[in-house]
Amino acid sequence: MKTALTLLTTLLMATLAPSASAADAPSSKTETAVIGGGCFWCVEAQYLLVKGVKNVVSGYAGGKTENPTYEDVCTGDTGHAEVVKVEFDPAVVSYREIIDLFWDAHDPTTVTKEDMYKHGKFLPKGTAYQGNDYGPQYRSAIYYTTEEQHKIAEASKVEWQKKWKDPIATEIAPLKKFYPAEDYHQNFKARNPNQGYVRAVVDPKTEKFKHTLEEKGKIKPEAK
C-alpha cells in the first residue's frame, strides 16, 4: 500500500511540475526588428555583436518591387532600402534597446543636410546617404511589425532627437514585406575580411559600435 501511494504521489507531482521546455521558454523566445541604417553589411556586423541577438539577416524592405535583386535595389528605383532583420531574445535585450542602439549605429539625419558635393558627385538636398553610399536605398528606416513596436520606435526617436542638432529623418513605417538578400551578402564582414569596403568602412563603424556596446554592457562576451 505504501509503495502504491508513493508511486501515485510521484506521478501526481510529475504531472503538476512545469516541463523543461516551459521553464526554458523565456530564453528561447525570439522577436524581430527590421531596421536600415545605410549599407546592410555595416548594420549586420554591428548587431551581430549585441548581447541577446540570435541572428541577423540582410535584406530589402520598404519598396514596391517584388522579389528584388541587389542590382534592382542599387538602381534606387525599387523604393526598397537595404535593411537587416534582427532576431533577438527579449529576455536579454528589449526592442527599445535595439532601437536605442540604432541611433548610435549610424547618422539618422543624413537626408536633412544641405546640398553638397561629395566624392565628385552632386547630391540634391534630400538625398539619403551614409558615408560613401548615397541614394534612397541607403535611407535610415525602422519598419515595425506591431503597433507596440511603432509606439516604442516613435518614443525612442523623440528622446534621441535631443542628442542631434539636425532633425532625425528616419522613416518609421509598417513592414509590408521583408525580402532576404542574396546569400553572398549574409555575414559579409566575417566572410570577406580583406574586401576593400569592409576594411575601409565596415570595420571602423563596427569597431566604434563595439565600444558603444562595451560602455552600455550590451556586448556579447565572445565579441569582447
d(CA 49, CA 63): 28
Q: How many CA atoms, within 13 angstroms, populate the side-chain half-sphere of residue 80?
A: 29
> 132: closest CA among 201, 63, 190, 182?
201
Coil, strand or helix at 179: strand
- 61 strand-pairing partners: 81
Q: Which set of grid coordinates corresponds to residue 158?
A: 523623440
**Helices 147-161, 95-105: crossing angle, 10 deg rounding:** 40
Alpha-carbon gap, residue 202 to 189, rounded angstroms:
7
**Set of cell numbers at residue 147:** 503597433
Identified catalytic residue from 33, 39, 153, 175 = 39
Residue 42 bears catalytic tag: no
Catalytic residues, by residue number, are 39
